[in-house]
């Protein structure tokens, strides 16, 4: 089903309120008011902040794991979901591995019962991806899974994702794409980095061989901003990266495999700039119920708008802090917590964040 037909079905089933909210949200993302009458169309809920891998590029390794960690309880999940209306997409991963949460199936069932048409999905590292469990999640209402592999070879997988069994994860993917009965759409995902930049086309071919429904690539980011060239994981040669990406995209077209590339930066990808829409349409909830601005700011100990266990979402959504942050971003006064994020900067308006610069080093570089 295409996105348009899915939306039309949702609109027909869910009625006028849903359609009106869709229009208001789309307008809000464009006009960027500080106070919102619309509800977000996208929600990301971190069902756990625990993980069974230690990938080199993950914020858990580069910025550190959150100071308090745990699985979200089913009761809290229900309490939180009950505070939202008219959403269309529910993402159930955050700074951890969602399949570790023992209540995941029940959470998906709850979400699916609340609204049959909401698209529910998550990314996983695939270690716990057993066919029986995936079948149960699909029966509960799961629509899509992205398996993060980051590699087309065992050697590269181990360099990035650690000493885990690449072949086994691949076999598990093969098993779930050939499940009979309800099963989610399955995609494989790669964060493009120096160790895997030569494997993009093989990654697409591997996706076709595994029988997945999509292949997605995204730029390396630690705060939604591609990392600097001195990061050992960052792609060193941009020309090679562009060539490899074009080859991979062409191969995906030949294989008729949907191919998605999330490009982050105007420097890496000339002409690419996506202004922040998260503050208007895509909030993030941590495992213990804190509301944060987006998935690039999942550390509630650093910043949160409040605790959904105590204050309802609707109140926080238009709280003074949220409104102030939206107003600042719109004016180009980049909020402290957003410094370093590419979405906060608008090259067209000259709003360029300077937070990463080291004035002393710059002085020395100036002739
Ligand atoms: C944080 S993980 C959580 C879900 C699950 N543990 C996984 O690995 O898929 C969500 C997604 O972010 C990607 N990711 C991790 N570190 C990243 C980075 N530095 N830049 C961009 N994406 C990253 C992962 O590969 C994964 O697809
Ligand atoms: S990318 Fe996913 S699997 Fe890897 S350490 Fe981060 S949360 Fe865990």
- CA–CA gap between residue 297 and residue 286 (Å, rounded): 10
pLDDT above 80: residue 215: yes
Q: Give the pLDDT confidence score for residue 229 in this predicted structure.
A: 63
Asked if residue 192 has its Cβ within 6 Å of ligand 1, the reply is: no
**329 DSSP assignment:** H
List the 290-292 sheet strands across, edge first. 259-262, 214-219, 185-192, 144-148, 119-124, 89-91, 42-45, 284-285, 290-292, 306-307
pLDDT above 80: residue 291: yes
Question: What's the pTM value of the predicted model, to 2 decimals?
Answer: 0.90
- CA–CA gap between residue 157 and residue 175 (Å, rounded): 20
Asked if residue 222 has its Cβ within 6 Å of ligand 1, the reply is: yes
pLDDT digits (tens, 9 = 90+) for 84-137: 999 999 999 999 999 999 999 999 999 999 988 899 999 999 999 999 999 999
Ligand found nearest the CA of 98: 1
Ligand 2 centre distance from Cα of residue 211 (Å):
24
Residue where the block lists tokens 């509630």: 300
pLDDT tier for residue 353 given thresholds of 50, 70 and 90: very low
Backbone angles phi, psi at 43, to 5 degrees: -135, 140
Residue where the block lists tokens 């089903």: 1
Asked if residue 54 has its Cβ within 6 Å of ligand 2, the reply is: yes
Tokens of 349: 């308006």
Residue where the block lists tokens 């909830």: 285
Ligand 2 centre distance from Cα of residue 174 (Å):
21
Please provide the size of the chain in residues: 367
**121 DSSP assignment:** E
Mean pLDDT across the chain:
89
Range in 55-64, 97-106, 284-293 with the lowest mean pLDDT = 55-64
Q: Give the pLDDT confidence score for residue 292 in this predicted structure.
A: 96
**147 DSSP assignment:** E
Task: Give CA angle at 237 (204, 153), nearest 5°.
Answer: 35
Task: Look at ligand 2, atom 1, and give the residue with the nearest C-alpha.
Answer: 58
Asked if residue 93 has its Cβ within 6 Å of ligand 1, the reply is: yes
pLDDT digits (tens, 9 = 90+) for 219-270: 888 765 666 667 788 888 888 888 999 999 999 999 999 999 987 765 667 6
Asked if residue 49 has its Cβ within 6 Å of ligand 1, the reply is: no
CB 161 within 8 A of CB 125: yes
pLDDT tier for residue 367 given thresholds of 50, 70 and 90: very low
Q: Could you tell me which residues are beta bridge partners of residue 124?
A: 147
Q: Give the pLDDT confidence score for residue 239 in this predicted structure.
A: 84
């Amino acid at each position: 089903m295409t996105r348009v037909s899915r939306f039309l079905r949702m609109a027909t089933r869910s009625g006028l309120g849903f359609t009106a909210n869709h229009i208001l949200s789309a307008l809000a993302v464009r006009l960027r008011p500080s106070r919102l009458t619309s509800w977000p169309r996208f929600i990301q809920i971190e069902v756990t902040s625990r993980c069974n891998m230690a990938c080199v590029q993950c914020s858990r390794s580069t910025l550190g794991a959150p100071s308090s960690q745990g699985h979200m309880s089913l009761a809290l999940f229900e309490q939180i979901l009950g505070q939202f209306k008219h959403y269309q997409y529910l993402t159930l991963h955050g700074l951890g591995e969602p399949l570790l949460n023992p209540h995941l199936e029940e959470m998906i069932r709850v979400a699916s019962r609340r609204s049959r048409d909401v698209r529910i999905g998550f990314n996983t590292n695939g270690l716990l991806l057993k066919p029986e469990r995936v079948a149960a999640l699909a029966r509960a209402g799961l629509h899509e899974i992205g398996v993060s592999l980051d590699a087309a070879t065992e050697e590269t997988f181990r360099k990035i994702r650690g000493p885990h069994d690449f072949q086994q994860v691949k076999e598990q993917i093969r098993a779930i794409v050939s499940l009979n009965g309800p099963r989610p759409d399955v995609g494989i995902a790669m964060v493009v980095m120096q160790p895997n930049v030569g494997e993009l086309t093989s990654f697409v071919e591997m996706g076709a061989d595994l029988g997945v429904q999509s292949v997605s690539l995204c730029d390396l980011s630690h705060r939604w901003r591609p990392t600097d060239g001195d990061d050992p994981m960052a792609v060193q040669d941009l020309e090679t990266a562009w060539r490899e990406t074009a080859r991979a995209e062409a191969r995906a077209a030949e294989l008729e495999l949907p191919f998605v590339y999330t490009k982050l930066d105007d420097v890496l990808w000339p002409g690419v700039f996506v202004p922040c829409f998260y503050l208007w349409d895509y909030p993030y909830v941590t495992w213990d119920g804190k509301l944060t601005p987006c998935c690039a700011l999942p550390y509630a100990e650093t910043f949160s708008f409040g605790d959904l266990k105590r204050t309802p979402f609707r109140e926080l959504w238009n709280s003074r802090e949220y409104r102030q942050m939206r107003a600042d971003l719109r004016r180009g006064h980049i909020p402290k917590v957003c410094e370093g994020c590419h979405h906060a900067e608008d090259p067209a308006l000259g709003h360029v964040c300077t937070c990463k610069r080291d004035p002393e080093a710059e002085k020395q570089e100036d002739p």
